[in-house]
A and B are shown apart, each in its own frame.
Chain A
């Protein structure tokens, strides 16, 4: 038997994957730091609207994580994950809107002489919500909107089920590569066009609004509510990161990376490739749905434009710029690009006056983003996350499995900390 440490003594998860611990520590520090600087619980340096931006960014990081799992690890370039994200948002938005409108309607009906019948209440709510699209009845898909647990379930089930059915059809027919990407785009486009219709039952292009107000908690200031959501988003991101790291660390990760690199070969090893793809596709759709359910209450409004195909393309761009195939790369990419994007499009970036032409960043930001995407793809395929390799390689150079020193008894790479 060889003298190489084959057994890879089963160390605790945390020790085998120090990057997970580092990530969680940074996330925790960030969360505590923001809380201390916030208006709601701290010294008030960071405005409530910026807390919301940061909370939303964490949700985007979570959906980027899902994208990295499905694209960076499993090689399925899905251009439809923002649709799942949006569906999660719609699912939670329906309850938020229903419950809040219910309170308003009950208040206004309380003044009446006779106590209102359930029918009157229901009609009142429906008129309030759907008046804007010229309807006063609840469409069937609102059947569960009164129940928070059921809508929570919908956050997971609706995107999951859609991904399961879509994935089953697509993978079973062995649609891969660019054709699959186009198919996912078509799904996204179809969904967003459907939601744009007034009779889709989700208020057409008006979307759902007022989601930042939690029903029954009108007395709680937004400064506090925004922090609740910020914490929830941070928690979700932390849990999502650990889950993804666990999935990609073991044999499952090995198999999906193998599928990415050579699908046919994996089949000849006896692995049912389609089933693996379906599991990953559905799981990431569920993660995206949860991220969306946390995002839209912070954004306050969701409309079909959010599900437009371009959103999913942006998602792929974030992951590419951050560095696909590594979890922290996706997080870095999403956080960096979306925050920079907020800065540029929020009008904070100073315009550049060239004398004959003024570059206003609100218009030119997308051009800059496109250029950087092209540059990253061509010159730095590892993305921003690749910079971390520079540091770790300097600390412990890759000796390709050889001893770290010239002596027989010197440390093997496997034994040394890496």
Chain B
């Protein structure tokens, strides 16, 4: 499998504090990867760098077959290039219906004029309905998303990401605040998504990571501490020391 994203030698510091320290990371197309690490390990900053929210002090971030450097691109350009991101807190547009949220996320031309003259075709409507089915919100399409439960909002956001049809999906703590049944459904969705695209999941919960059953990267103090299967990394002395701590 060819490499989709390559992060190499990236460092960033905030007021002298090195949040990311010479971090290197690679992910192939259609790969599912879990990123774990204690609080302050730099997981969120790592995502911020890939999505263009934070500009690193040094290093390279290369993406896709054309080897685009993401560091020179704006957030919206990176998103258009196929990098989708789900935040820790569910961020859906609460004032708007589930349908509108999904329609907005649907992969279409993003320029102001194209959007102004946009009319949803019946395929678009079908696509939205299909996504709603997938995330279990078919019955709530025309409800305001602000009325949904926390777990449903999480799903709606996952649905919006799938609608964007990204090639690389970054997911920050998807299972936070979900019931066990909802977690299971989320794992299924993520594993399903990873069949057609690369997915990076940042998660605290070891049980959840175990269920994902994929390669794991352990971050600590802004750099990669260990990489491999979950069993492999949990046997690593250093990992036990800094993370599991028992």
Q: Which of A188-196, A204-212, A245-253 is near enough to bind chain B?
A: A245-253
The docked-state distance in angstroms from the alpha carbon of A414 to that of B141 is 10
Q: Which residues of A contact B132 (CB under 8 A)?
A: 2
Check A258 against B96 for contact (C-beta < 8 Å).
yes
Who on chain A is nearest to B108 by CB?
Answer: A251
Q: Does B142 contact A (CB under 8 A)?
A: yes
Does B179 make an interface contact (CB < 8 A)? no
Q: Are B103 and A270 in contact (CB under 8 A)?
A: no
Q: Of B85, B112, B140, which is within 8 A of A268 by CB? A: B85
Q: Name, among B110, B115, B125, B143, the residue most crowded by chain A CB atoms within 10 Å (CB to CB).
A: B115
A7 proximal to B (CB < 8 A): yes
Q: Select one of B105, B111, B126 contacting A269, CB under 8 A.
A: B105
Residue picked from B75, B118, B128, B164, most chain A C-beta under 10 Å: B75
- Closest residue on chain A to residue B107 by CB atoms: A270
**Is B116 on the interface with A (CB-CB < 8 A)?**
yes
What is the chain B residue whose CB lies nearest that of A2? Answer: B138
Among residues 237 to 274 in chain A, which have CB atoms less than 8 Å away from a CB atom of chain B? Answer: 247, 250-252, 254-255, 257-258, 261-262, 264-265, 267-273
B111 partner, pick from A247, A265, A275, beta carbons under 8 A: A275
B133 interface hit (Cβ, 8 Å):
yes
Judging by beta carbons under 8 Å apart, are A250 and B118 in contact?
yes
**Bound: A1/B129 CA distance, A:** 7
Mask: chain B, 108-139; 1 = CB below 8 Å from A; 0 = not = 00111001101110100110111011000011
Report whether A401 and B141 are in contact in the complex, using a CB–CB cutoff of 8 Å. Answer: yes
Which A-chain residue is minimally distant from B163 (CB atoms)? A269
User: Size of chain A's interface in residues, with CB distance under 8 A?
Assistant: 33
Query: Judging by beta carbons under 8 Å apart, are A2 and B133 in contact?
Result: yes
Within 8 A of A (CB), among B37-64: 51, 53
Could you tell me if B91 and A262 are in contact, using CB atoms closer than 8 angstroms? yes
**In chain B, residues 71-112, which have Cβ atoms closer than 8 Å to a Cβ of chain A?**
74-77, 79-80, 84-85, 87, 91, 93-96, 99-100, 103-105, 110-112
- B192 lies within 8 A of chain A by Cβ: no
Q: Which A residues are in CB contact (< 8 Å) with B84?
A: 268
Instruction: Please determine whether B118 and A251 come into contact, CB atoms closer than 8 angstroms.
Output: yes
Please give the residue numbers on chain A whose beta carbons come within 8 Å of chain B beta carbons, in ascending order: 1-2, 4, 6-8, 10, 247, 250-252, 254-255, 257-258, 261-262, 264-265, 267-273, 275-276, 279, 400-401, 413-414
25 contacting pairs across A/B (C-beta < 8 A):
A2-B129, A2-B133, A6-B128, A7-B122, A10-B119, A251-B104, A251-B118, A252-B118, A254-B100, A254-B104, A261-B95, A267-B79, A269-B79, A269-B164, A270-B80, A271-B115, A272-B76, A272-B77, A272-B112, A273-B76, A401-B139, A401-B141, A401-B143, A413-B142, A414-B142
Known: A2-B132, A6-B99, A268-B51. 18 other contacts (CB 8 A): A1-B138, A4-B139, A4-B141, A250-B115, A251-B103, A251-B104, A251-B118, A254-B103, A255-B115, A258-B96, A262-B93, A267-B74, A268-B75, A269-B79, A269-B105, A272-B74, A272-B76, A400-B147
Please name the 6 residue pairs, one residue from A and one from B, whose CB atoms are nearest each other, closest first. Answer: A270-B79, A2-B138, A401-B143, A267-B75, A270-B80, A252-B116
